[in-house]
Amino acid sequence: MKHVLVLNGPNLGRLGSREPDVYGATTFEDLAALCRDTGRRLDLDVDVRQTDDEAELVRWVHEAADGRVPIVLNPAAFTHYSYALRDALAQRTAPLIEVHISNPAAREEFRHTSVVASVATGTIAGFGMMSYVLALQAVAELVAETPAAQ
């Protein structure tokens, strides 16, 4: 079973109460359960984490790089300006899927730029919580395509 980190940035711990018109009524705990259940179906060991602290998120990315662990990442507000996060992600050693619950391109102009997209394997956005399911499916496929020796 392949270990995968599902990392979430600032304010995502407030899902369910934060802007439900944008993010829906699903709580962070519901999202974590969805990710773990999806992982089990895909033979992935999913570890879901959330932080409002940029330094902690960077440490988790370093941990993943050192362990060759794939990442599903919703960088939240860090998407648009965290060069520290971007530089940490550039050191990745396994697939990295950037996810967003909403579609940033359909929102305020400041959300249109992702500084992490250029170092991600791919980006999935705008499908609500299904974005995470799609990202985990992508990770499962990418891991299956990678020879065991790598």
Q: What's the pLDDT tens digit per position in 72-106? A: 999 999 998 899 999 999 999 999 999 999 887 66
Q: Are 51 and 63 in contact (CB under 8 A)?
A: no
Q: Which pLDDT score, from 0 to 100, does residue 63 have?
A: 98
Q: List Cβ neighbours of 2 (8 Å cut-off, separation of 6 or more).
A: 43, 44, 45, 70, 139, 140, 143
What tokens were used for 18?
């934060």
* Residue 49 β-bridge partners: 7
Q: Which domains does the chain have, with CATH numbers?
A: 2-145 (3.40.50.9100)
Q: Is 59 annotated as a binding residue?
A: no
Residues involved in catalysis: 23, 100
87 annotated as ligand-binding? yes
The angle at the Cα of 148, spanning 71 to 138, to the nearest 5 degrees, equals 35
pLDDT at 149: 41
| 8 A C-beta contact, residue 138 and residue 98 | no
**Per-residue pLDDT tens for 7-52?**
999 989 887 777 677 666 789 999 999 999 999 999 999 999 999 9
Residue 111, annotated as binding a ligand? yes
